[in-house]
Structure 1
Amino acid sequence: MSNQLQIQIDKASESMDGGFSDYYQNMVNYFHQNPDHNLSYSAFSHRTNRATNALVSEKEAIFYIVAYGWQHHQSMQYLLSQTIDVTSEPQENIRVVDYGCGQGVATLAFMDYLSQKGVAQQSSLEVHLIEPSKVSLDIAKLLIERLAKAYGMQVFIHCQQRTLDNALIPLNSECKETFHLLSNVIDIETVQETLPSLAKQMMSCTGKNFLFATCPRYANAQTGFRILRQEMDFADNFYDECWDMTYQMYRVTQACWNQHTSTQRMAMMSWVSS
């Protein structure tokens, strides 16, 4: 089964001419047409502690991307659109650090945003993926490479298969701008414990820095955002809002598409380090 699932993931990754939405649609179609091969919501939640444990199989990765991938992508894209203008001073070389990247959805959302703004082809990305799950990390690398090819972008990917308490953030780079992405991890207690250490490393990243954090407004997420703001007190700018987001997505518990509304908390910070 694992080989069959790997083939499906690879096939879907080749469909991304129009961005992550193509991959998501392809994976939803597969999931919907093969119910006997899928995990149930209860089985997935039990094994992964409601998606907070590292994924260990392609079957778990497929369930996760179908159940949560579109929501994660849309919230990161919305935050980017509300807080930055990449067309005012477009950079040729951009560094991206994706913390607890999972299958790379936040980085893919950033790439989609660059494409929508017409600056993808002139952008070269230095991407650092930090993720404890080998399955998720391998998929993230594949999808980012495939999307970069579709958009005509140069991309150089560096992978760290480790938890965030052992993360090593690259402090020096030829890139003048660094984008730090925290997508749907700030509600996890073990991630919250690493925020003081991560903040110290982020503060030392040379050049102009932007941090983007998104998460549904869970009680645990509120704690995470409070810690983040406290530890990032060196940031020059701080943007923190909650939005009710409504979009069409596939609901795994109902096995159908419908309109979904969720309250997302999103924060953006920026600072310059020499």
Structure 2
Amino acid sequence: MMNAHIINAHIMNATDSLCVGGFESYYRSLVQYFANNKRDNLSYTQFRISTNRAKSQLKCDKEAIFYTVAYAWTHYLSAKRLLTQTFESIEFNAQNNSWQVIDYGCGQGIASLALLDHIAEAGYAHNTSIDLVLIEPSVISLNIAKFLCKRLAQACGIKLTVQTQVCHLDEAVLPKQNACSKTLHLMSNIVDIPEVQDSLEHITDLMNQIKGEHVLAATGPIYPNNTEGFNKLYNLAPEVLDCLVNKQEFFCNEEYKVTGGYWYTRDTDRQFLALKWQN
């Protein structure tokens, strides 16, 4: 169980911005803190060494803050763009929306936060309830994800319950009973990881045991490893399904450059996949 006192004070302060202006305000608040307190935070070299170029699970607050400042905004925008396109093909109504959401390798909950922001901006917050399952091997990342999602949902008026699993995906256990009858599976920037690809058969087997309507939304960089992971994920999905989105997309976004200490506009390329099926 997570206690709020273990959350870094600077993250908690930035959460006040999250509750007012969503994830963008949270991100900009952490960037401002990072830029003004470089001696108290990790350098790129320190982060690269301690996390094996962000390939290892995060172990402390400073690593979590650096990761957010360096990478989270692009990850958030990618998830938000995919979810916006995906939800154009999903039935959402003004009366009642009840979903089970499973965020695989959730990190600090960026994809789930993008979902909550999207629901609020679309005007469905007060008639939406979500049973959120966060799966992540990093304890610090998982604690932050749970804390941020609960705070944002409360601020937006979204009814949210949160379950957490501190484990790798090959050890994950998915809920077989789904009172919501609809499940949204989120995979953000994980499908290119070899260990995740090795877990996909286990995960998709568990997905197929959950009754009801399913939507899977996956995004990641346009790398050969990511394309390989997407192809494996698509081939493991049920034979009878609707492919809602399957494309590569390029867009420009403003971002803070941690190695230079300034804002700049960068070109981002991402691969999107969204599938829908019924069990």
Distance (whole Å) between structure 2 residues aligned to residue 46 and residue 5 of structure 1: 24
Aligned twin of 2:74: 71
Residue of structure 1 in register with 2:134 after alignment: 129
CA distance in 2, matches of 1:243, 1:172: 35
Decide which moves more: 233-242 or 15-24: 233-242
Alpha-carbon deviations, 1:37-74, whole Å to 9, x = none?
22122221222222121100000000011111111110
Give 5+ residue unaligned stretches, structure 1.
Answer: none
Shift of 1:233: 4.0
Instruction: Specify the alignment match of 2:32 in structure 1.
Output: 29
TM-score (norm 2): 0.93
Conservation of the 8 A alpha-carbon contact between 1:203 and 1:234 = no
Residue 241 of structure 2, aligned match among 227, 236, 260: 236
The answer as to 2:113 corresponding to 1:108 is yes
**Partners of 1:4 and 1:193 in 2: how far apart?**
33
- Cα deviation digits, residues 147-174 of structure 1 (max 9, x gap): 0111011110000001111001112111
- SS of the residue 2:127 aligns to: coil
Shift of 1:235: 4.9
Note the C-alpha offset of 1:27: 0.5
2:265 aligned with 1:265? no
Query: TM-score under structure 1 normalisation?
Result: 0.95
Q: Report how far residue 234 of structure 1 moved.
A: 2.9
In structure 2, list runs of 5 or more residues that go unmatched.
none
**Equivalent residue letter for 2:246:** D
- The whole-number CA distance in structure 2 between the counterparts of 1:87 and 1:204 is 22
For residues 1-274 of structure 1, the aligned pairs below 5 Å read 6-16=8-18, 17-85=20-88, 88-89=92-93, 91-238=96-243, 239-273=245-279
Residues 84-133 of structure 1, C-alpha deviations (whole Å, 9 max, x = no match): 23564464321110000000000000011101110011111100000001
- After superposition, the CA RMSD in angstroms is 1.6
- Structure 2 residue matching 1:62: 3-state secondary structure: helix
Question: In the alignment, is the contact (CA less than 8 A) between 1:235 and 1:269 conserved in 2?
Answer: no
Identity %: 37
Residue-by-residue CA offset, 1:206-239 (whole Å, 9 max, x unaligned): 2111001010112211111111111114351123
Q: Give the length in aligned residue pairs.
A: 271
Query: Helix, strand or coil for the counterpart of 1:249?
Result: strand
CA change 1:92–1:83 in 2 (3 A) is: closer
